[in-house]
Amino acid sequence: MPEISGTKDMRSYVATLWRWKWLFLVFVVAAPVGAFLVGRGQPNVYKSSALVGINGTTISASGSGSFSTTNVEAIAQLVTTTPVAEIAAGLLSPPGNPGQIAGEVTATGDSTTNFLTISAQDRSPTRAAAIANAFAHAISLNLERSAINQIDASARSIRHELRITHPDPATRAQLEQELVQLQTQRYSTSGQAAILQPATPSGTPVGGGTRQSVELGLVVGLLLGLGAIVLAESADRRIRNPEDLERMTGFPLLAAIESSAFSGLATSSEDEEAFQMLRTALMYFNVDRNLESVLITSAGEKDGKTTIATRLALTAAGAGMNVVLVDADLRRAQVGARLNVHCDGGLGAVIAGARELSETLVDFPVESPTAGRLRVLPAGPPPPNPSALMSSSRMELVLRRLEAESDLVLVDTPAALAVSDPVPLMRSVSGVVVVARMNHSSRQTIRRLQKIIESAHGTLLGVIATGTASGPGHGHYYPAYYSQNGHSGNDRGGLLRRLRREPARQNPPLVAGSPKAGGRSGPVWSGSASQGQNGHAESANRVREQD
């Protein structure tokens, strides 16, 4: 079963049903259609019942004990026996086959009321009623004949005793009296069973036919569809909603980003607000840490980590921070193409010692009343040994220098389960943020990524859910909220429309140990960026010497 703690509310069940709606519809449609095809050539079956009352008379005979005809359960079992069926077959017009009509009849007895219900089924409603009435008369005749046979047997026994034993006058008189009583009882046995309510033809079929088959198929289809959803949900290991992601990882959900945020840079105000929430959550959920560098990664490809890193860098820079965005995906770089940033070198060339760090950092223009500074370090051309470069000491020194010269360093990496490039960086940065795409990322891959981060001695700061559905509770802000200040929630562009569309320019060389570039310190990300600058001055100088 899916690892979901707690209980689901009705909305969750409806969402599950909607998610598997096509599987459910297959069973709901296929079962009635199949039943229609099967039952299309079958005739309707009708049922009629007769109610018979059993007399409570008890018959006694000298020397043979007594027997009772009031055991309705036993009599119900006699209804379908061959003697009764032969009598009933003779009562039908035209006469029927005893074996065939016996298979169409059922009987139940009620010991409380001594009532016997005889039911018959047939393709013809008239025939069904005739069979039920015939068996009702037949069981009555059978009981009557059985009682007469018992009386006759007792009378023959008394006559035999009178002929053989020659009893004394008193005994003879007693036996002759019993014989008279038996003769009297013989003529009164016609009331052993009475038909209280004869069977009548029914106008409603009870089985067979197209309508009944389709109705039964619909019920079966509904049950099978619900069962299939339960099985499919149990077998599905994909993460379906942000709450599941937060519960299974045990780390805070920093943000839930809707699918509309991945349509390009010019997105709506609601999407921009989601990234503002991400920036704020990342800061306040980790208020006890000095976050100088954050690595953005995911378990698989196309989870949205590059978009998250790019938009978070733009949002933080727009809020007045000095931000450096590093494209550490040396295999398939995307940050440069997203921001239209180009340079001759790149991160790979800096680590290899072919380029100076100051030559490869490119300023990206951000125009805002509170704008800070955003610099991009592209990945550059793919090197032959990206894993070796990422695990080298020079890469760590590059990070230390960037941390010393900025408020925040954001590192975009390849998928952590696809290649090993991000693993060495996990312990070199202040923290790691995991991105998971709803209805795409699986539970197994997220758990595996967690174990990799722990094994690499990295610090997991939180998780981000991408590709979520719009709605309250997942970071969605309604247009009416913005319209109060005169801005429409559908006005696309927002902060990013204020970006200058001129070509990005490279910044002048930076001097390690100097005040953070940009001419302004900007807000501190989580405490003391200046302390981080002084603390890493020696590492920054070492990078410059090796460059």
Nearest to 262 by CA among 299, 306, 294: 306
Residues 6+ apart with CB under 8 A from 225: 23, 24, 25, 26, 27, 28
Q: Give residue for tokens 């801005």.
A: 487
Count the helix, strand and coil residues of the chain and give each as a percent rounded to the nearest 5: 45, 15, 35
Q: Structure tokens of 219?
A: 């019920």
pLDDT given for residue 324 in this prediction = 93
Backbone angles phi, psi at 410, to 5 degrees: -110, 130
pLDDT in tens, 160-199: 777 777 777 888 788 778 877 777 766 666 556 788 899 9
pLDDT given for residue 472 in this prediction = 42
Q: How far apart are CA 204 and CA 187, in angstroms?
A: 42
Q: What angle do CA 331, 417, 235 make, to 5 degrees?
A: 140
Nearest to 198 by CA among 146, 104, 126: 126
Going by pLDDT thresholds of 50, 70 and 90, the confidence category of residue 454 is very high
Per-domain boundaries in the chain: 10-42+209-235, 46-197, 242-509
pLDDT given for residue 280 in this prediction = 86
Side-chain half-sphere of 312: how many Cα atoms within 13 Å?
Answer: 32
Q: How far apart are CA 125 and CA 45, in angstroms?
A: 8
Q: Where are the beta strands (DSSP E) in 392-459?
A: 408-412, 431-437
Residue 94, preceding bond cis, omega within 30 degrees?
Answer: yes
What distances in angstroms separate CA 85 from CA 54, 75, 78, 81, one per listed residue?
19, 13, 9, 6
3-state secondary structure of 218: helix
Most confident of 144-148, 364-368, 374-378: 374-378
Q: How far apart are CA 464 and CA 436, in angstroms?
A: 6
The stretches of 250-304 forming alpha helices (DSSP H) are 269-284
pLDDT given for residue 192 in this prediction = 63
Q: How far apart are CA 414 and CA 395, in angstroms?
A: 16
Long-range CB pairs of 222-227 (<8 Å, 24+ gap) are 222/27, 222/28, 224/27, 224/31, 225/23, 225/24, 225/25, 225/26, 225/27, 225/28, 226/24
Decide if 331 contacts 419 (C-beta within 8 A).
yes
Q: To the nearest whole percent, how much of the chain has pLDDT over 90? A: 15
Q: Structure tokens of 110?
A: 């009620």
CATH architecture of 242-509: 3-Layer(aba) Sandwich (3.40)
pLDDT given for residue 241 in this prediction = 79
